[in-house]
Amino acid sequence: MSDRRLNLVMLWHMHQPDYRDHMNGEHVLPWVYLHALKDYTDMADHLERHPGIRTVVNFVPVLLDQIEDYCAQFASGEFRDPLLRLLATQDLSAIATEDRRLLLETCFLGNHSTMLSPFPHYRRLHDLYKTLAREGSHALAYLSGAYFSDLITWYHLAWTGESERRRQPLVAELMSRGEAYSHGDRLALVELIGRTMHCLIPRYRALRERGQIELSATPETHPLAPLLIDFNAARESQAQAPLPQASLYPGGRQRVDAQIQAGMASHQRRFGAAPVGMWPAEGAISTPVVREMALQGCRWLASGEGVLRNSLALHGIEDPRATYHPWCLAGAPDLALFFRDEQLSDLIGFEYAKWHGRDAAADLVRRLESILAAAPAGEDPVVSIILDGENAWEHYPYNGFFFFDDLYGLLERHTTIRTTTYADLLARRNVAKPVALPSIVAGSWVYGTLSTWIGDTDKNRAWDLLCAAKQAYDLVTAGIRLSTEEKAAAARQLAICESSDWFWWFGDYNPAQAVASFDGLFRRNLASLYQLLKLTPPDALAGAISRGSHTAEGGAMRRAT
């Protein structure tokens, strides 16, 4: 009997951009606490119920910042998120017109087939809204405080994780009653959400401490590192890609270093040790990025399979098993590169939600067995399944509960598939040594290119706005105009403006409302940076300063996996 094994690394990437308006401290969009309530909680529960499964869980520091921010809000009872504030409001019949509109625009967001249609009482609230909306906004004025109490309660119940529905009597009781929720019911729900948020990071820390998961990180605010260093990186995979008017992002290499160092320091502070490896924002890497990561002591990086294909093609390397063993960059042998199996990852992200959970889990295991069977003698293939840890599950019945239960159960019992982590692979002597690549073709896990973040007219315009702000930042912080504390505040705000997420949404192929919401928040963040520098924001940002800080338009903004 063969003792060969397939090494399976599943990396779940936990990330939400900074949804806070740093001019007033308000949370513009609720996705951090909603995904924490539903997805981050369920993902921890799956692992706790299957102690034989090992995975990598990647937390972006800016997400952890916001989780801690919410924990502080629950501890104080002073909510800077309008939805939580309304959930705790005693009399919803007396709320402002703006708040009524916010609830109606927000509380039906989500996958209706899995998060609304299964619940008759919630569906009835939606049907009533649609009937009145057809008659115009004046008809919606007839909706009562009792309607809004039921609506906001059901919205939060729909966003509870399947594990919490099975564990928490309050959730089961409220869902079975279905209507006529009181202020006391809503306060009990607020308390439950607060407890869930407070327990979240300690649960993952406990999983790490018992050796079940590896916790990895991303540079602080999820920056698109190859473009911060060199806009021309976009043309390594798309030779004719249009670029911003600015020739480069000023001081980009230093900013990438700062983002990496801040990400590692955040991880050290929260989890007691620096991460062994990192998932770069969007899996985006380039030759300079890999070199910078190696200099910072990073031991592994992961990226998309398209980046590997482009890099192999550039150098005329033929390797039919390229995805199934580690690589490294020539001159940086101590940093291993792993590449995502696109087909397997995308089956989970986009296809298996349509299958019966057991059938999907069995199909995935069969595909892994086929990879092992096709491996040449002496090879223990490494397969990387990498995807967002939150965005796919609302498309699954029961938030993917049965898919994960079957998949993890099959993998725990399997004799030739071993779930593991990148750190453990690097620590084992019998794993194949990384094969050197002369250079990396810059790209990401999306199509193997950088086109999602640069090249479109609006994306390029956003880069030009950021470049102008960075020039102002450099000029002001080089002098004595700001105190040490003021410079630190400006540096934090600059990092927020460097997030890849702002550039993701620009472009006419995205929903107009989503683009407008992200555009507004991006401009307000830039305007806040100018104000921290004690400068008047340029006219291009002036409209954002007075724009309302919370809107429900962001419902369409949750990205596909």
pLDDT in tens, 482-494: 999 999 999 999 9
67: confidence class by pLDDT, cuts 50, 70, 90: very high
In a domain, 453, yes or no: no
Q: What is the pLDDT of residue 554?
A: 34
C-alpha span between 374 and 277 (Å, rounded):
29
C-alpha span between 182 and 152 (Å, rounded):
11
Query: To the nearest 10°, the Cα dihedral for 207, 210, 211, 213?
Result: 0
Query: How does pLDDT run across 69-86, given as a tens digit for each residue?
Result: 999 999 999 999 999 999
Q: Which residue has the tokens 């921290």?
A: 532
Pairing state of beta strands 213-217 and 6-14? unpaired
C-alpha span between 341 and 365 (Å, rounded):
14
Q: What is the pLDDT of residue 555?
A: 35
Least-confidence region, from 217-221, 222-226, 296-300, 545-549: 545-549
In a domain, 345, yes or no: no
Residue 265 has pLDDT above 90, yes or no: yes
Q: What mean pLDDT is predicted for residues 223-246?
A: 98
In a domain, 252, yes or no: no
What is the amino acid identity at position 50? H
Three-state SS string across 234-284, please? Answer: HHHCCCCCCCCCCCCCCCHHHHHHHHHHHHHHHHHHHHCCCCCEECCHHHC
The mean pLDDT value of the chain amounts to: 94
Query: How does pLDDT run across 151-191, given as a tens digit for each residue?
Result: 999 999 999 999 999 999 999 999 999 999 999 999 999 99
Residue 150 has pLDDT above 60, yes or no: yes
Query: To the nearest 10°, the Cα dihedral for 145, 150, 155, 156?
Result: 100
Percent of the chain with pLDDT strictly greater than 70 = 96
Instruction: Report the phi/psi class of residue 77: left, alpha or beta, with left for phi > 0 and alpha for psi in -120 to 50.
Output: left
Q: Which of 365, 345, 346 lies closest to 357 in space, CA to CA?
A: 365
Question: Alpha carbon of 379 to those of 341, 355, 470: distances in Å?
Answer: 17, 32, 49
Host domain of residue 178: 31-56+59-209
What are the DSSP calls for 42-56, one per residue? HHHHHHHH-TT--EE
Question: Residue 56 — φ and ψ, nearest 5°?
Answer: -105, 130
Question: Alpha carbon of 329 to those of 252, 290, 338, 380: distances in Å?
Answer: 21, 7, 11, 22
Residues pairing with 443 in the sheet: 285
Q: What is the pLDDT of residue 506?
A: 86
In a domain, 183, yes or no: yes
Q: What is the pLDDT of residue 38?
A: 98
Helix axes 287-295, 252-271, angle to 10 degrees: 50
Q: How many helices (H) and strands (E) does the chain have?
A: 25, 10
Pull the structure tokens for residue 341.
């199996």
Percent of the chain with pLDDT strictly greater than 90 = 91
Query: How does pLDDT run across 365-390, given as a tens digit for each residue?
Result: 999 999 999 999 989 999 999 999 99
Residue 341 has pLDDT above 70, yes or no: yes
- Considering the entire predicted model, what is its pTM? 0.95
Residue 516 has pLDDT above 90, yes or no: no
**DSSP secondary structure code for residue 285 in this structure:** B
Q: What mean pLDDT is predicted for residues 198-214?
A: 97
Q: What is the pLDDT of residue 431?
A: 78
Question: Alpha carbon of 157 to those of 78, 115, 504: distances in Å?
Answer: 22, 9, 30
Sign of CA dihedral 245, 251, 254, 258: negative
Residue 88 has pLDDT above 60, yes or no: yes
C-alpha span between 134 and 140 (Å, rounded):
10
273: confidence class by pLDDT, cuts 50, 70, 90: very high
Least-confidence region, from 42-46, 409-413, 512-516: 512-516
Residue 561 has pLDDT above 70, yes or no: no
In a domain, 523, yes or no: no
In a domain, 10, yes or no: no
Residue 547 has pLDDT above 70, yes or no: no
Domain count across the chain: 1
Exposed (0-12), middle (13-18) or buried (19+): which is 559, by Cβ within 10 Å? middle
In a domain, 305, yes or no: no
Least-confidence region, from 89-103, 274-288, 497-511: 497-511
Q: What is the pLDDT of residue 543?
A: 60
Q: What is the pLDDT of residue 276?
A: 98
In a domain, 35, yes or no: yes
Q: Which of 453, 469, 468 lies closest to 518 in space, CA to CA?
A: 453
Q: What is the pLDDT of residue 2?
A: 59
SS3 186: helix
Q: What is the pLDDT of residue 515?
A: 82
